[in-house]
Chain A
């Protein structure tokens, strides 16, 4: 390992572009090093920084273990990846993009289920009728479990969903979902609604610092410099 400050950035999609824009506006121009398809990069004028381009959920993993010093990724992924998120990372700056709410959504036709408390009661009668627990499809297993337990909802089972979660109820893979939404349009198009008290987290991309990374006084200096430029 080098003794450079490792900055983990999203490797693809809109989030990658938005990160590059934000950094460029702050005077931090990221250039991919090596071949153009490479997953490494550097920032002009900051020789102590090494950029790693990885997927958003890997960024959370890197920050959790300290494999990266700094990273930009969604708060939803950070809190999903780490139960003890606030003990492992410091949120330095919300980025103002990558907005997504993690919500509990049920079929809109469930007029009898409007709050989380209704969900628990419904789960009891569902089990009586169907002989099994009501299923919740999500890729946010930990966020969902923590939120349900906070709300006193227990009579359910989580089903891991790796994509197109909003289609799970119609496909009879689950009865309800925990998923991200920005405008709610996708949920509505799939005949779903968000419960009144069903917003688990209002998330956006954040610049985050890992407490577990190998920090030296010099790297802290570099961190301050990067954070200061981004905060202007």
Chain B
């Protein structure tokens, strides 16, 4: 977009005022975080995948900076600058530009420079209540701006964690499966590995490092590793210590002794990830799925259902809302409830709004302890395109 027409700018301005008005009336403080952000911290938090789409540059001092690719991380940083401990309840709203390189070339609904209008809520005591409040406010703001025809899609990463927690397996397997949840292929590969006795054997490791006596601790594993490296003439270079390497070898040794995941359990996990259902039927459907395996995730399903009730009570119509268990993949920093609002006009690939809970992001940005956080933002150019009914 070489320049935007005055008419387009005025329409975006008017729309932004309407959205921000709704947020401010709901008690959200309007903020304007810095557009230029330190690249180091930002990229450490958002990861290399988004980095490929982030405009990074060097200032005359040699400092690495970036144009913010979203406003959530800058808002977290602003909050921490005010409250270094993080855990002070606060609600912020913003409207401002964000920048993302579009590999296939920028288009009207995928511009490289766009404006996000959004809200973030930190340290609220009741998570489900706050999830519902944030979703309801975003839906309310969209309605206020004139949007009528849209669909809500929801997911809940907490349910997946609960399912893993209810299945019997070593804690580190749960960590790995949760970690790989974002990457469907890696997830399937990991599930296959954990289900195969053969694959758990680590045949390509020297036996002496794998066959540790029962109850061997890290110190012992470390001693064996150092001895092995010494005899093999391998020098330990770099940042990682032999203790760190030994720790993971110990985990591999434990995996080799472990009973693989039963095929039925691996199938249950696969079936869970594949669940798609109307939001109102999701809880009973998931209940039916796990019950057959004698697995109890009723507490997490209770939380899920309570949130749905709170959403409805907050005035959001859930008819037509869809639940997908795998929804949330590719949005790496979310930890719980996730949602997206899509329109028939722009389709599922170009949602007009999205958001969710990200309880661990604040720690990544520098908070001493996790801070409950939920937020959402509206893609204002897309919203305007839908409302104008013009060419997308």
Contacts and interface: CB of A to CB of B under 8 A. Distances in A.
Interface string A108-150: 1111101001001110111001101100000000000100110
A169 B237 contact: yes
Interface in A72-109: 83, 107-109
A130 B243 CA distance: 13
Contact of B235 (A109, A121, A125): A109
A109 B245 contact: yes
B379 interface: no
Contact of B238 (A107, A117, A145, A151): A107
Contacts of A158: 48, 51
Interface string B158-193: 000000000000000001100110110110011000
A145 B48 contact: yes
Given A121-B176, A148-B48, A152-B186, A108 B240 contact: no
Contacts of B51: 145, 157-158
Given A110-B240, A152-B180, A122 B204 contact: no
B185 A145 contact: no
B47 A122 contact: no
A149 B48 CA distance: 9
Contact of B205 (A111, A124, A152): A111
B240 A175 contact: yes
A117 B244 contact: no
Interface string B227-251: 0110000111111101011011100
Given A124-B175, A145-B52, A154-B182, A111 B249 contact: yes
Contacts of B206: 111
A50 to B, nearest CB: 32
Nearest to B187: A152
A132 B47 CA distance: 11
A191 B205 CA distance: 18
B49 interface: yes
A133 B209 CA distance: 27
A231 interface: no
A156 B175 CA distance: 18
Given A126-B240, A175-B240, A191-B234, A110 B49 contact: no
A228 interface: no
Contact of A155 (B47, B229, B235, B248): B47
Contacts of B180: 120, 152
A190 interface: yes
Contacts of B176: 121
B317 interface: no
Contacts of A155: 47
Given A109-B235, A110-B240, A110-B245, A156 B205 contact: no
Contact of B236 (A107, A122, A129, A132): A107
Contacts of B49: 149, 154
Contacts of B189: 117, 152
A126 B238 CA distance: 13
A158 B50 CA distance: 12
Nearest to B189: A117
Contacts of A192: 237
A126 B248 CA distance: 11
A176 B225 CA distance: 20
B245 A154 contact: no
B332 A190 contact: no
Contacts of A132: 44
A107 B240 contact: yes
Given A149-B49, A152-B185, A154-B48, A109 B43 contact: no
A152 B190 CA distance: 11
B237 A124 contact: no
A68 B249 CA distance: 52
A189 to B, nearest CB: 10
B252 interface: yes
B258 to A, nearest CB: 15
A190 to B, nearest CB: 7
Contact of B237 (A129, A151, A190, A196): A190
Interface in A146-172: 148-149, 151-152, 154-158, 169-170, 172
B389 interface: no
Interface string A185-199: 000001110001000
A154 B185 contact: no
Interface of A: 83, 107-112, 114, 117, 120-122, 124-126, 129-130, 132-133, 145, 148-149, 151-152, 154-158, 169-170, 172, 175-176, 190-192, 196
Given A130-B239, A169-B237, 7 more contacts: A108-B235, A111-B209, A112-B252, A126-B244, A149-B49, A156-B48, A158-B51
- 5 tightest Cβ-Cβ pairs between the two chains A and B: A152-B186, A112-B248, A169-B238, A191-B237, A152-B183
29 contacts: A108-B234, A108-B235, A109-B234, A109-B235, A109-B245, A111-B205, A111-B245, A112-B245, A112-B248, A112-B249, A114-B205, A120-B186, A121-B176, A121-B248, A124-B175, A124-B179, A126-B240, A145-B52, A149-B48, A152-B185, A152-B186, A154-B47, A154-B49, A157-B43, A158-B51, A169-B238, A175-B238, A175-B239, A192-B237
